[in-house]
Amino acid sequence: MTAWIDTHCHLDAPEFDADRSTVRAQAAAQGVCHCVIPAVERSNWDTVRTLAHQHGDSYALGIHPLYTGRAEEEDLQHLARYLEQHHADPRLVAIGEIGLDYFVPGLDPARQERFYRAQLQLARRFDLPVILHVRRSADKLLKGLRDLPVRGGIAHAFNGSLQQAQAFSALGFKLGFGGAVTYDRALQLRRLATELPGDALVLETDAPDIPPHWLYTTAAERAAGQAQGRNSPGELPGIAAVVAQLRGQPVEALAGSTRANALAALPRLKGLVADGQLSQGG
């Protein structure tokens, strides 16, 4: 079976509370051999670490830009102590999810940037890559990375220009593609998926968010009582099939290149590899 790595899956989200283990088992049955579970705030650091060990996956620790409004300044000190405590854990693979969001209204840009730069400093201190939230903020994120270079990572849910993509790649980052690329109207994103070199892409779901087109319901359908489909890591092979078709390459070739790219972006994943596949079990 083709083996996939979901480089961004919020398996700890409340949407999975009723059937989390089943969801993960179903994904494994679809060939998703490994998920990276990023944290979003202090309250879920323990949860993502526990889940990673429970399911044989990996995790990242950080403060998401959408949560900086309710984060305390002391949370950065707590993050440093938590990283010190768990730095030797082989399943801790990155600082994340961190970054900047200039799309959602009501967020303080200066506060976001303060948390972002402080966490880049932690990535440098602990020699870890970062998982970046990039939403109308690519140029500002790139400036931070040039000021405070880190050992690369992943630009999650990337939807910028080809020039911005190349700039992230030059700094050691891979670009995350997920459900958004499955929509016919996502012309720029689909063009990127075809133009970028094979060593630039990783695959992700961002589950339970960013559902692929086959799970999407319109506002009118939701008003009529039809529920929005919940994204899950088991959707990754379907997303990959779309990317492979866009790129004109066999699915197995895409699986191999994106696995290799994930290992390059998050080097600690290599310690979880056995016989070319990522090992299961805690």
Element (H, E) at 177: strand 173-177
86 annotated ligand binder = no
206 annotated ligand binder = yes
64 annotated ligand binder = no
Other residues' Cβ atoms within 10 Å of the Cβ of residue 5: 29
Distance of CA 260 to the CA centre of its chain: 16
Going by C-alpha positions, the residue among 29, 22, 23 that lies closest to residue 4 is 29
Work out the angle at residue 37's Cα, subtended by the Cα atoms of residues 54 and 238, and round it to the nearest 5 degrees: 105
78 annotated ligand binder = no
- Pairwise CA distance, residues 227 & 171, whole Å: 40
The position carrying tokens 């133009």 is 195
- Pairwise CA distance, residues 279 & 198, whole Å: 24
Output the six-digit token pair for 243.
């990317």
- Pairwise CA distance, residues 131 & 120, whole Å: 10
What is the residue-wise DSSP string for 12-29? Answer: TSGGGTTTHHHHHHHHHH
Residues tagged in the binding site annotation: 8, 10, 97, 133, 156, 206
Residues tagged in the binding site annotation for a divalent metal cation: 8, 10, 97, 133, 156, 206
